[in-house]
Amino acid sequence: MGRFLARIHAVGRIEAYRSRPALDLESFGEASVAFLMEGGWLPQDIREVWHGVARQALAGVRHCYDRAGPVASLRLHGDCHVGNVLWTGDGPHFVDFDDSRMGPAVQDLWMLLSGDRPAMTRQLSDILLGYEDFMDFDRRELHLVEALRTLRLLHYCAWLARRWDDPAFPLAFPWFNTQRYWEDKILELREQISAMDEPPLVA
């Protein structure tokens, strides 16, 4: 997996996308929060609570990027979770490049990790063992793992809201935009705020 993903990234760094947007604080974070607030998606009784927690989370994302310092950006898969990897006798095959965009290499690594911190550390070490056969990996990007997870959480809420007029979406995501949904998101964001204050993973 690590070797194949590195080969994708080796091609991805040759040149930048001409039209696709970047995965960054503004497009995934600020724009998502603004869209949800301006569109009236939040229940009135928790609207300001969610907004306050979201702004605090975005401040945590900025802090993570400050700790990492300048990092390279390349063409990514962008949505590289295990559900988008098909395995055959020839190895992994990546599907669903709809979210491909410019961003840091670690975006395509952290989404393959799961479990508690020791488990993710072992998985990351295994992936990088193969990855670095084809691509160098800047360890400073590990400061961005929880920041990118936070941005994905915000972006996904807005992604659902932007498509809610499609009749297929209320059927596929009946739990979206309920009181419980937004209450859970507040808790998730608070967890991410704490996670972003922790030291990064070490591989």
Average pLDDT over residues 45-72: 97
Q: What is the pLDDT of residue 90?
A: 85
- Domains of the chain as residue ranges with CATH: 2-196 (1.10.510.10)
pLDDT in tens, 120-143: 999 999 999 999 999 999 999 999
Q: Report residue 199: phi and psi, to 5°.
A: -60, 150
Coil, strand, or helix at residue 90?
Answer: coil
What percentage of the chain has pLDDT greater than the value 90?
Answer: 91
Active site residues per annotation: 79, 96
* Residue 83 CB neighbour total at 10 angstroms: 10
Task: Return the pLDDT at 203.
Answer: 80
Beta bridge partners of 93: 86
Mean pLDDT of 18-25: 92
Tell me: pLDDT of 62 over 90.
yes
- H/E run at residue 34: helix 31-38
Q: Enter the DSSP assignment of 98.
A: T
The pLDDT of residue 72: 95
pLDDT in tens, 31-52: 999 999 999 999 999 999 999 9
